Amino acid sequence: MTDTASTVVKEIVSRNGGPDSAGLRIEAEDGGGTEFAVAIVPTPEESDVVVEQDGARVFLGTVATKSLDDKTLDARVADDGRVAFDIMPQQP
């Protein structure tokens, strides 16, 4: 997760007033792990992998974990406040 992504994740989660254990959950919407659903949840599911950076918490579902294992999460914020997440190859 990039610094920008961790800042955006913390902001999104805090705006929704979740508990300290809350985070952004990513899970694949398809079996191939090419389309993802993102939701703010109070706690990870039992099988989730938890990624934490600078207070930002991201929970990866089982299929998402397999698909995103060698990727980096980044974020962009548009002028109108809309957020877009990007999944990029990890840098060596």
Q: Is 90 helix (H, G, I), strand (E, B) or coil?
A: coil
What is the Rg, in whole angstroms, of the alpha carbon atoms belonging to the chain? 13
Both tokens of 20, joined, read: 């300290």
Number of domains in the chain: 1
Q: Which domain holds residue 16?
A: 3-89
Q: Measured between alpha carbons, how far is 41 from 88 in angstroms, rounded to an integer?
A: 24
What is the CATH classification number for the domain harbouring 14? 2.60.300.12
What pLDDT was estimated at residue 20?
A: 84
**Which amino acid belongs to residue 85?**
F
Q: Is the pLDDT of residue 73 over 70?
A: yes
Tens-place pLDDT, residues 6-34:
999 999 999 888 788 899 999 988 766 67
Q: Summarize the confidence of residues 64-92 as an average pLDDT.
A: 88
Q: Quick one: 67 exposed, middle or buried, by C-beta within 10 A (0-12, 13-18, 19+)?
A: buried
Which residues make beta-bridge pairs with 49?
60
pLDDT at site 1: 92
